[in-house]
Structure 1
Amino acid sequence: MTSQDLFSGRPVAEDATAVLERFRASGGRPFHTYPVDEVREMYERGCAANGLDGDSLSSVSDVGVQEFGVRVYEPRAQRGPTAVVLFLHGGGWVMGSLSTHDGLCRRLAALTGLPVVAVDYRLAPEHLYPAAIDDSRAALNWLFTAGPVHGLEITKAVLVGDSAGGQLAAVLAIENAKSAHPRPIAAQVLIYPMVNLTMSAPSYNRVTHGFPLVADTIAWFADHYLPQGTDRTRPDISPALAELPAGLPPAYVITVDNDPLVDEGANYAAALAQAGTEVRYQHLSGYAHGLLTSAGRIQRGEQTVDDIAGFIRDRTA
C-alpha cells in the first residue's frame, strides 16, 4: 500500500515510511550536500542501522587481490564444485564498502547455498575511473584463476550489483559476452543500476528532493568518479549506450519508483530483451533507491532479497 508523500509529491510505500521519516528527522539532506568523508561515514551508519542482520555462515574471510580486497562468504560445510556469486556494491563509486553490504551478502549466501565473493574495489575521488571497473575486471579474472588462494572450485559465476555496482556488473557481462574466451557467467542481477551517465532520462526531473539520493546526487557521484572531459558515453561508463552482443546471461533487473535511475534501468531491461537476452524485470512502486541496504527495516526489501536468491538458484541449478 502506498500513500502520497506531501514533502516530495511522490508515492511512498507504507513499510518504507519509517526509514524515510528518520532520514528527514536527521536533517533530510541528500548525500551530495556533505563532504566525501562525512557521506561515507553516514552511509556506513545508515547501512548498519537499516540493513539485514548478519546470517551465520560456515566461514567468512578477507583476501587481498592486487590493489583491492575481496570478502569470501562460504555457507557450505562441505566443499566441492560450485557456482559463485560475484557481488559489486553500490555507493556511486565514492562510498560503500564490504561492511555496508555485509548483511546482504551473508543473506544471499545463506539463501542460495552458494559462496558469495564481495569486491572492495577502490573508491573515487582518490581513485578515479577506470579504477572501479579495472578492479571489477581483475576480481572476475581472479575468481576463475586463483583457486589455490580462495579454495573454491568454480563452475560458473553470477554477477550481482546494486546502483553503481549494477553498472559494474552490467559492464562485466557485456565485456565477457564479447570476449574470445568468455567465462561461464550464468546470470546477472542488476539492482536499480546506474547505467547511463549522460543523465538524460526523464526520471532525473521527477526525483529531485525529499530522498537521500536525488538527481543532483548522481551528478555529484559522476563528477567525483570521472576525470574532467571523460566521454560519458563510453561502454564501460554507460553500458545502456553500448552495442549489446548476443549471448548475454539471463538478467534480473530491479527498479524502484523514487529514484532518478528508474527510467534508465527500465530502458536497459528493454534493450537487453531486444538483444535477445532472457530478462526478468521488476519495478517496485513506492520505494526509494537503497531499498536492499534498508532491508532490515523495510519488509519489501527483505522479500526482494528472497526473490533474487530464488532467481540465482534457478539459474545455477
Structure 2
Amino acid sequence: MTVAQNDRRAADPMVAAEAAPSITAFRAKGSLSFQDVGVEQARVNYSVSCAANGLTSQAIAKVNDVQFEPDIPGRLYDARVGEPTGLAPAIFFIHGGGWVIGDLDTHDSLCRYLAVSTESIVVSVDYRLAPEAPFPAAIDDCRSALTWVLAHGGKWGIDIARVVVMGDSGGGQMAAILANESGGDRFDNRLIGQVLLYPVTDLTMQTPSYERIVTGFPLTANTMNWFADHYVPEGVDRSQAQLSPLLNPVPAYGAAAFICTVDNDPLADEGARYAAKLAAAGTAVEYLHLPGHSHGLFTSAGVIATAREVLNRVSAFVKARSTAAIDEVARD
C-alpha cells in the first residue's frame, strides 16, 4: 500500500456492506458518541443499543442472579435441561463498555447464546464501574469473582478444571490480565482458555490505529481517551500489567487464546500485536481479523451476520478446549 493509498484509507475506511446501515445512521445523526453525552446518558444509550441490535434472547433452563464472594453480583446461565448430572465446563464472562458503561443486561443475550452453543455454564460478573469506582475496582472485582469460581464453582455445577475466561473490549482487557495471572500461582486452578474480542491491551494508546480511527464510528481514539480518563486516576502508570498487558511479560505456554479484532477500531493494532506476543511466548493462538467491521460488533450480533459466524467459531474453540482438558486428565 502506497502512502497516498494509506492516507485515503485513513480518511475514509472501508465499511462492510452489512455494517453500512448502522454506520450510515450513526453519521447521519452527527456521529455523536459516548463522550459527547455524559456518563449517565452514555449508559442509557448503550443499553438501548444493545437491546435493539443484540442477539434475540433465548429461553434457557436456568438463569439466576448470584453473588460471588465477597459480595460481588453476577449472573449464572445453565442451558442443560432436566436434572443435570456431573459437572459442566464454564465460561467466566466479563462484559465490555470501557469500564464505564455496560452491565449484566447489556450482554445477557450474548451469555445465553454462549451457554447454549458451548454446552457450558456461563457466569457473568457485574463489576463496579468508573468513575464512581475507578481503577483498580473493576479488575479487583473480576479477580475476586474468578478466584471464587476456580475454588468453589463446583457448588454451582461447574467443573473448576475446565474454565475459559472471555470478554469484549475493556472486558477483554481484564480477561487477558486474569489469563496471564492464571499462568502463575494466583488461582487454585488454571484457566484452560481465553477469548478476547477486540480487547484493550495497551492503555498508553500509541498504536497506529489510534491515528487512523478518529471519526465516523461509535468508538474512536477520542472515545477511548474519554473512557480511560474516567477509569484511570491521574498519575497512575498506564503501562503497568493491570492496564496494558501488551507492554508486559506474558506467561510461557499460557492458556490457549481466541482473539478477534476489527478493522475500524482504534484497538485493532494492539489486539493484533497481543495475539503475536502470546504466540511468540508459546501460547496456542487462533487469531481472526475482520476488515470493514467496527468496534461493538458482538453487541450488534442480532443485525450483523458476521458476528454470529464468529461467535460460532468462539463456541467451537471453547468446546475444543474443554475436550482437550478432559483428554489431558485421561492421559495423566
With the shorter chain as reference, the TM-score category is over 0.9
Gaps of 5+ in 1: none
The Cα shift of 1:55 comes to 1.5
In the other structure, the counterpart of 1:217 is 223
**Equivalent-residue separation in structure 1 for 2:290 and 2:157 (angstroms):** 38
Percent identity between the two aligned chains: 46
Secondary structure at the aligned position of 1:165 is classed as helix
Q: State how 1:192-271 maps to structure 2 within 5 Å.
A: 192-271=198-277
Pair 210,182 (structure 1): closer, same or farther in 2 beyond 3 Å: same
Pair 43,94 (structure 1): closer, same or farther in 2 beyond 3 Å: same
**Equivalent-residue separation in structure 1 for 2:283 and 2:188 (angstroms):** 16
Pair 190,248 (structure 1): closer, same or farther in 2 beyond 3 Å: same
**Equivalent-residue separation in structure 2 for 1:182 and 1:262 (angstroms):** 33
2:307 aligned to which of 301, 304, 308: 301
Alignment partner of 1:37 is 2:43 = no
TM-score, L = length of structure 1? 0.95
**Equivalent-residue separation in structure 1 for 2:187 and 2:298 (angstroms):** 33
The Cα shift of 1:21 comes to 2.3
In the other structure, the counterpart of 1:89 is 95
**Over the residues paired in the alignment, what is the CA RMSD in angstroms?**
1.7
How many residues are paired up? 313
TM-score, L = length of structure 2? 0.91
Q: State how 1:1-317 maps to structure 2 within 5 Å.
A: 9-65=12-68, 66-77=70-81, 78-147=84-153, 150-179=156-185, 183-317=189-323
**Equivalent-residue separation in structure 1 for 2:59 and 2:119 (angstroms):** 12
Secondary structure at the aligned position of 1:12 is classed as coil
Letter matched to residue 32 of structure 2: R
The Cα shift of 1:67 comes to 4.3
The Cα shift of 1:6 comes to 10
**Equivalent-residue separation in structure 2 for 1:271 and 1:6 (angstroms):** 27
Gaps of 5+ in 2: 1-7, 324-332
The Cα shift of 1:44 comes to 0.2
Deviations 1:204-246 (A, max 9, x none): 0000000110001111111000111000011011011111111
**Equivalent-residue separation in structure 1 for 2:306 and 2:120 (angstroms):** 23
